[in-house]
Amino acid sequence: MSEIVKRATHGLSEASQTLNEVLGNAVAMAQQISTAAEQLAQQMTAHAQMLQQHAQIVNAPKRIVRDPVSGRATGVEPARTVQ
């Protein structure tokens, strides 16, 4: 083989190796992004469930709590519902 062909073959071999490394890194990054997205989706689902529970508590019927001596309102508590 001529020297030019040897150099070209060597250069192509190095370029191929570099390309394989870059593609490998890209695949690893894509997997990390996918894992992060899955974790974020799980956290968002849990957060949405907590917000829904909080909304149910906040919007539930309340009863005014009064001071037994003065009769003034001192707070609220969940109302007892009859079922």
Task: Please give the model's pTM, rounded to 2 decimal places.
Answer: 0.55
d(CA 11, CA 54): 64
pLDDT of residue 6: 72
pLDDT of residue 1: 61
Please report, in tens digits, the pLDDT of each residue of the chain (83 residues total): 687 767 777 777 888 888 888 888 999 999 999 999 999 999 999 999 999 999 998 999 999 999 999 999 999 998 877 66
Exposure string over 17-44, b if 16+ CB within 10 A, otherwise e? eeeeeeeeeeeeeeeeeeeeeeeeeeee
Domain residue ranges in the chain: 3-78
